[in-house]
Amino acid sequence: MKYIRRGALRVGATSTSGLIKPVAFKRPDGKLVLVANTSAAATLDVGGLPAGDYQVSFSTAAQPGAVGAVQTILAGQTLTTTIPASGVITISGTP
């Protein structure tokens, strides 16, 4: 996996939607990575992240390896992003 390296620790992640199956990891550098499998197009509202910059990327059948804009959130803010079809979405803290 590109964003999850040796030494990363799995941390809790849950979803209120049956369409989204998330897992999250804390990397050795302290940054968080969330990977979610979606069974349809979805909007993800991710709370509980520390303030910082996050890169969003996803892969669907029509758009493999798509990279979105870096999003900056402040403490207590929610990161909101979408995936246009079923696939895998990754939200990764950037250095």
Buried b (16+ CB within 10 A) or exposed e, 51-81: ebebbbbbebeeeeeeeeeebebeeeeebeb
Q: How far apart are CA 36 and CA 50, in angstroms?
A: 18
Predicted TM-score of the model (pTM): 0.91
Write the pLDDT tens digit of every residue in 59-88: 999 999 999 989 999 999 999 999 999 999
| Residue 2 banded pLDDT, cuts 50, 70, 90 | confident
| Residue 1 banded pLDDT, cuts 50, 70, 90 | low
